[in-house]
Amino acid sequence: MSSDDNPNRPQRPARRGFLKAGGAAVAAGASLGASGLTQAAEAKHRAPPAVDPMSAVEPFYAAHQGGIVTPQQAHTYVAAFDLTTTSRDDVIALLRQWTDMAARMTQGQSAASLDNGKDDAPAPDSGDVLGLGPAALTVTFGFGPGLFMSEGKDRYGLAHLRPAALVDLPRFNGDQLVAEKTGGDLYVQACANDAQVAFHAVRQLARQGYGKLHMRWGQAGFLSGPRNQTPRNLMGFKDGTNNPPTSDPKAMNEFVWATAADAPWMQGGTYTVVRRIRITIEHWDQMELGFQEQVFGRHKYSGAPIGQAKEFDTVDLTANDKDGNPLIPENSHVRLSNRASNNGAQILRRSYSYNDGTNFYIERWPPWRQETEYDAGLIFIAHQADPRTGFIPINEKLAKFDMMNQFTTHVGSAVFACPPGAKPGSYIGAQLFEA
Amino acid sequence: MSSDDNPNRPQRPARRGFLKAGGAAVAAGASLGASGLTQAAEAKHRAPPAVDPMSAVEPFYAAHQGGIVTPQQAHTYVAAFDLTTTSRDDVIALLRQWTDMAARMTQGQSAASLDNGKDDAPAPDSGDVLGLGPAALTVTFGFGPGLFMSEGKDRYGLAHLRPAALVDLPRFNGDQLVAEKTGGDLYVQACANDAQVAFHAVRQLARQGYGKLHMRWGQAGFLSGPRNQTPRNLMGFKDGTNNPPTSDPKAMNEFVWATAADAPWMQGGTYTVVRRIRITIEHWDQMELGFQEQVFGRHKYSGAPIGQAKEFDTVDLTANDKDGNPLIPENSHVRLSNRASNNGAQILRRSYSYNDGTNFYIERWPPWRQETEYDAGLIFIAHQADPRTGFIPINEKLAKFDMMNQFTTHVGSAVFACPPGAKPGSYIGAQLFEA
């Protein structure tokens, strides 16, 4: 399984990235990647941040919702809710309130004016991000299958408007889904350059829904390092290199934005799949470097496809080694998920790592070990024009053949229709309720 | 419970902190606090960051370990381990290896040289922070009671060297401790300006101990916002305002650093108490603003003590309102934890918030609700010269009388003796093993 016979194999980095001279600070835009070799390639693909991450502002009212093709912020908090109200008006009122509050918070304001607060009433905002700035907050809303039909009931008169693309996900090979990490009628995804700003947004919105909904699950996630390079996931590999470019409207129209063909109210929206994927880090860390690279189909330090030197070099699925075997293994993650292996399908991955401390586990077979393990992994988030040609066929293949499956377990899953953006004065989902 | 009769009551902030002009970025050092009123006071107490947070370097080899009086970094990962080896030499070898690796990582290097890595062997570093820089990483080690005596056994011949100050913590009123979040023979606290850099450090060290120890618990934590102001905890209040000043060596010698009097090998070390404190955020958010302020004894937005205008104004426990009642309530957190209420005792709090997603709970009494709740709160970390005059008496009082107890539950607990820093060529704990 070694790829040492490859003359293009990049050198190992001798030390971590930032070069220093006498302790002087290096400007944020001048950071090196894992290897100096990849610096030029990264600089071409990633622009250095132009503003202080805490004072950056993302628009809320726009044709598309934020948080989909928005440059990925450093933190997220994602949550799903089950509606308990049976009133269509309640749902509309809630979405109106959520829209107003989300718009305020993305612009660096409290969820509602604190001037209206009284000492003898709960404050309209928890106050825990006062003084922090907008931190590029985006809030993205989505609708799960349960909004349209729940336990056989069309609670809100929306069943006939359910898009065909909003399918119930099939059971994939190896799925170990936990009910309380799976599903949901409403989706709220807050992304920001600060962990507390992201959580704060969901927390204020959740509170407004008391009596109308229950939280089903919530999950914090993070990316490491500055945003001008491809972040590495907890397996140590760069994650997101081969994403379709968000700067290319044509690619986004092809792969990410829904059209009116399926459901007119979804035009300009997207379908979002969320999977909580636990990684057995302890096991992965014991694997040989060469084997890890075979699993991914990429070199670990440079991020280059096996057989190439640089992260953004083209993935050549036809290249063979001197023995005639594929350089990028048949069951590698890169090959199986590559566009060329999936009839041209692509999805926009916008995932985060998660790190929820540790679990104590007891093995159910000899030698019946009892031990503490990391509860850490990936909050996989993928946006696409249609899951039936996006995530579902790609993951059907991965779930069966990907060598990575030894180290990953899907424990949570959900799919949502994220409608287009709202106009000022209107609300998220207006096109659905007014259809 | 209202404090509206107080003429010094600061105004509510009309909007979140950063002022903007035409979208121009505000320099990081010029941020406002929750209220413009507090800006001058904050500027006096907090210096703006002088270097890029990812390229900042903290020394490892020093008289004291890092991560104790070090300016608090934005993220932490703390973990405790139970030793399974019975060999004293194993423990020494592990501490030597941990010392060397921690020293490397704090300087921005991989845990061990990647040049020694082979494709057919596990890499000596998981590689997930390549290119990120040192991010002001500190790694702090501590010894729990079990290193000295475990289940009646003196495994390593150290029982006679256990400091009297390393007491087993008493059971406090209201404690709801969970075994798998409590205790531990060895403590590793990694703090850094990046979540992945902090976790990475613990992960590399844990892996070196396979076969000699089990992880007992691990926990990620974070602070929000830039480091030039007092961070707000998840209850929305500033946390750490009244800490003894780390810039004052006299205060640190009095309250933080252990002396030789109790155990000569601990001179220049400290005793660290860790508590995982869950906060019932949903409940807290429904409380009136005035009541929240009575619970803390401080104004929420400014951070000022009740009856004062600015965060760093003196806490006056003798001040009364016009009816002759104490302005700072008898059972408020600030009064009960104040130095004047504790025979002059102080501890150095260096806590982080945590946010581990959600739990599904089932009530054990009518109306037997089943719902999802946040698993979020505070990783309380306090350093002190002696827990018998520090955390223990202060928390005895808080656990009984603090109004905050309605909203907080202590679910994890540990105490450690953190030895002094290591000299180059030596290792953390050498003074103990060579005593």
Average pLDDT, chain B: 88
A3 part of contact set with chain B, CB < 8 Å: yes
Of A131, A195, A285, the CB nearest to B126: A285
DSSP state of B114: G
A413, A175 contact by CB (below 8 A): yes
Phi then psi for A265, rounded to 5 degrees?
-70, -15
Q: Does A226 sit behind a cis peptide bond, omega within 30 degrees of 0 on the bond before it?
A: no
Q: Which residues contact B38 (CB under 8 A, 6 or more apart)?
A: B10, B302, B303, B304, B310, B311
DSSP state of A405: G
**pLDDT tens, A321-352?**
999 999 999 999 999 999 888 888 899 999 99
Residue B162 within a domain: yes
Residue B30 within a domain: no
Domain count, chain A: 1
Nearest to A76 by CA among A353, A435, A325: A353
Instruction: With beta carbons under 8 A apart, name residues in chain A contacting B376.
Output: 199
Instruction: With beta carbons under 8 A apart, name residues in chain A contacting B361.
Output: none
Nearest to A162 by CA among A421, A419, A382: A419
pTM score, two decimals? 0.89
Residue B326 within a domain: yes
Return the number of other C-beta atoms located less than 10 Å from residue A393's C-beta.
14
> What do you get for the CA distance between the two ends of chain B, in Å?
57
Alpha helices in A213-288 (DSSP H): 249-255, 281-284
The pLDDT of residue B330: 95
DSSP state of A150: B
Q: Which residues contact A17 (CB under 8 A, 6 or more apart)?
A: A31, A32, A33, A34, B108, B130, B131, B132, B133
Task: Report the complex ipTM.
Answer: 0.88
Residue B7 within a domain: no
Q: How far apart are CA A180 and CA A106, in angstroms?
A: 29
Residue A8 within a domain: no
**pLDDT tens, B6-51?**
434 444 453 343 333 333 333 333 333 333 333 334 333 444 445 7
Q: How far apart are CA A408 and CA B215, in angstroms?
A: 21
Question: Encoding tokens for residue A46?
Answer: 């990633």
The pLDDT of residue B50: 57
Of B77, B300, B356, the CB nearest to A127: B300
Nearest to A421 by CA among A72, A104, A61, A106: A61
Q: How far apart are CA B336 and CA A8, in angstroms?
A: 66
> What DSSP letter does each residue of B121-186 carry, written as one string?
SB-SS--TTTTS--TT-EEEEEE-HHHH-BTTB-TTS-GGG--TTSPPPPPPTT----GGGS--SE
Residue A178 within a domain: yes
> What do you get for the CA distance between the two ends of chain A, in Å?
56
Of B25, B217, B220, the CB nearest to A372: B217
- Model confidence band, residue B365 (pLDDT cutoffs 50, 70, 90): confident
Length in residues, chain B? 435
Question: Encoding tokens for residue A289?
Answer: 């470097």
Instruction: With beta carbons under 8 A apart, name residues in chain A contacting B117.
Output: 12, 289
Residue whose tokens read 């808080």? B398
Residue A86 within a domain: yes
**pLDDT tens, B311-360?**
999 999 999 999 999 999 999 999 999 988 888 889 999 999 999 999 98
CA-nearest residue to A293 within chain B is B119
The pLDDT of residue B54: 94
Q: How far apart are CA A20 and CA B52, in angstroms?
A: 12
**pLDDT tens, B142-182?**
999 999 999 999 999 999 999 999 999 999 999 999 999 99
Residue B10 within a domain: no
Question: Encoding tokens for residue A129?
Answer: 């991000």
Window 364-383 of A, Cβ < 8 Å to B: 371-376
Q: Which residue in A224, A277, A291 has the most chain B C-beta atoms within 10 A of its own C-beta, making it the best mutation to test that interface?
A: A224
Residue whose tokens read 């941990």? B98
Question: Encoding tokens for residue B417?
Answer: 């003796």
Domain with B187 in it: 50-433
B188, B141 contact by CB (below 8 A): yes
The pLDDT of residue B116: 64
In angstroms, how far is CA B323 from the centroid of its own chain?
A: 39
**pLDDT tens, A210-261?**
899 999 999 999 998 777 889 999 999 999 898 999 999 999 999 999 999 9
In angstroms, how far is CA B235 from the centroid of its own chain?
A: 16
Nearest to A38 by CA among A228, A198, A170, A199: A228
What is the amino acid identity at position A77? Y
